[in-house]
Structures are given as structure tokens and as C-alpha cells.
Homo-oligomer: A and B are copies of this chain.
Amino acid sequence: MRKIAESTVRRLSLYLRFLEEFEEQGMETVSSEALAARGGTTSAQVRKDLSFFGSFGKRGLGYSVAELVRRLREILGLGRTYRVAMIGAGKIGSALVQYRGFRQRGFEIVAIFDADAAKVGRNWNGLSVRDVKELEGELRRQMVDIAVIVTPAEAAQAVADKVVSLGVKAILNFAPIQLMVPDDVVVKTVNLALELETLSYALTNR
């Protein structure tokens, strides 16, 4: 399969979400027009995005919802469970642990770490918060696919270096810094300050 742009991957995720809604509503087929209307895009864009993966619509009949859901889940790598370690047991970490969307999509939080002795040992959704000093030993004991970093900015790079050295290939970063990682590691940064600044920019330059 060709390498596809991140913007396309994001649209595929959205299509999957809409298709799951359609499936719940009992729809069996869907046109590219209907999918486009739901997602605020064009039917040409929908057809282009889906054409990356071979043709699976039928002219005049549209796409089979069940088939498209199955293929998109496969393409997005959602046919399996991902083991997630969370580093940082603060407010955002707490919200994430209780975020149902994680587990629904197969992302299972298997360990939580914090540097604050006052937090270590606390029970978070059935998991005991561990001392970050145990990070290395724990990641050697159990396989982790994804690290979620929710530490303060000044601690994040060292945590990233550590998990990368232990074989983690994917990081979801909430710390407000740009992490530096080797080319074979993928990092997604969620930076709320950045999101706010695209809003203030838009409000100012209208």
C-alpha cells in the first residue's frame, strides 16, 4: 500500500465514525454523497480517499456500510488491542483514563506512572499508580505499544527517550513541547495552547 497523507488518515477515521453511526441506524448501503454530507466534504474527496485501498463501491448502489466499516478498521489497524502506558497521573491523565473512547477502540491502558510519591500507589480505574522509577523494569516485563506522555514540559523529553530506548514506537504527547525521536517512532502531539492560538489568530485576522 502507498504511504498516505496524515490528512487522509484523519478523514478515514471520521468516515469510520459516521459509518458506525449509519450501521447503528440500520443502514446497509451509503453513497459517497451521503458520507460527504455528513463529514462536511465533497463526494469526489470521499471517492478519492477510498480509492487508495482499491475500489469497493458499486456505481449506482454505493458502498456496503458493513464492508466499508470492516475495511476501514483493518486499514486503520483497529483489528487488535494496543497496550498503552501512561506517564503522568495528573488532571489530564485522569480524564484520559476515564475516557471510554480509548478502550472502545482497543486501546488498553496497562500501566500508569508518576514521579510524585503522593500519587504512587493510588488506584486509578483498577490500576495502581507506579513510581516512574519502575518504568524501565515494567516496560521490560510487559510489552507496551503506545506511551501517553502527560508530564510537565520539562520532564517529557527524558520520558520519551526512555520509552523509545525500551522499544516503544508510538507516543501520544500532551506535554507542550516538540519531542525529538528517531525516524522510526511516530509522535502525535495534542497541544491545547496551539489549538487556542489558531482560534485567537482567526478571531484577530478576520
Contact = CB atoms under 8 A, between A and B. Distances in A.
A6 B194 CA distance: 11
A61 interface: no
A152 B199 CA distance: 22
Contacts of A200: 76-78, 82, 105-107
B82 A178 contact: no
Contacts of A107: 196, 200
A165 to B, nearest CB: 18
A157 to B, nearest CB: 12
A112 interface: no
Contacts of A118: none
A203 B9 contact: no
A106 to B, nearest CB: 8
A169 interface: yes
A193 B20 CA distance: 14
B186 A172 contact: no
A1 interface: yes
A194 B92 contact: no
Given A78-B197, A105-B196, 14 more contacts: A9-B198, A13-B194, A17-B177, A38-B178, A39-B178, A76-B197, A77-B203, A77-B205, A92-B95, A92-B99, A94-B95, A106-B200, A186-B198, A190-B195
